[in-house]
Amino acid sequence: MLVTNAKELLQKAMAGKYAIPSCNFIDLDSARVFCKTAADLKLPLILAFAEVHKNMISLEEAALIGKYLAGQYDAPIILHLDHGTEVEYCLRAMELGFTSVMIDASMKDFDGNVATTKEVVDAARKLGVQVEAEIGHVGSNVLEGDGSLYTEPEEAARFVAASGCDSLAVSIGTSHGVYKTGTPKLSFDALHGIAAALPETPLVLHGGSGTGDENLSRCAKEGIAKINVCTDFYVAAMEAVKGLDDFFDVKADSNAAIRKVQEHYYRVFGTK
């Protein structure tokens, strides 16, 4: 069922020292796999649609798919907008029924990030929607020189107090996409510092793919409540369909591969 209490679910995960996976869907098939797997395993799910995928399906289509499927499956499902870059886009998502939105103004300076996030938070409060924001910056695709800026604990605490966001994406060494040079080295010292500075605020790890099970399991146990995964699902799907020449087999085998990755990450994150 579609639920609105993202912060409560994430705080429960914090207290229980596990993380909830945020799975990026790009079409009806992937969304259905994520919801069905969550229901079969009786586990919570953050069903995420990223603004960057709006060329594949529109926000309106994503909202309809998410709401419909969440209503069909017996698991707590949060319909989340991932990496909304504009206030307007976040507002549209809320109006369409997303129960959680991320406003990513992490490329702005501190005051600009606070102001943009606060605008979304103010609108979200009226609609009972939860807001994730980002401080520091998780870059893309490479281990070093990817534009990432580590999150500073003191700055993170000031940011949450000033913006009123419900959860916070932090940068501790992951990147979005496929790593070119192996498993990343995460800064658990940075994570512990941020978690100590923000004992009530659920923390979010972006760029879960390729980060390594040991790193992710430690993150879940040591302060991260939500872990975002996208690339690993679609890499596994591509791998599974190599050599197939029947479109129906391609659909079935890619869906099965996506499910296997989701089941794997539920185990790694210790999700309850």
Where are the strands (E) in the chain, listed by range?
A: 20-24, 45-50, 77-84, 100-103, 130-134, 167-170, 203-205, 224-229
Binding piece for ligand 13P, criterion CB under 6 A, among 54-62, 119-127, 188-196, 223-231: 223-231
Binding piece for ligand 13P, criterion CB under 6 A, among 68-76, 203-211, 242-250, 264-272: 203-211
With respect to ligand 13P, which residue has the nearer C-beta, 72 or 183? 183
What's the CA dihedral at 160, 162, 166, 169 to 10 degrees?
-40
Which burial class, exposed, middle or buried, applies to 109 when counting CB atoms under 10 A from its CB (0-12, 13-18, 19+)?
exposed
Single out the residue of 16, 164, 177, 212 in contact with ligand 13P (rule: CB under 6 A): 177
Where are the strands (E) in 160-243, listed by range?
A: 167-170, 203-205, 224-229
Single out the residue of 229, 236, 237, 261 in contact with ligand 13P (rule: CB under 6 A): 229
Single out the residue of 21, 24, 165, 186 in contact with ligand 13P (rule: CB under 6 A): 24
Instruction: State the residue for tokens 């994150």.
Output: 269
Measured in whole angstroms, the distance separating CA 2 from the mean position of its chain's CA atoms is 16
The reply to whether 160 sits near ligand 13P by the rule CB under 6 A is no
The reply to whether 219 sits near ligand 13P by the rule CB under 6 A is no
Binding piece for ligand 13P, criterion CB under 6 A, among 37-45, 62-70, 159-167, 205-213: 205-213
Binding residues vs ligand 13P (CB under 6 A): 24, 50, 82-83, 176-177, 206-209, 228-232
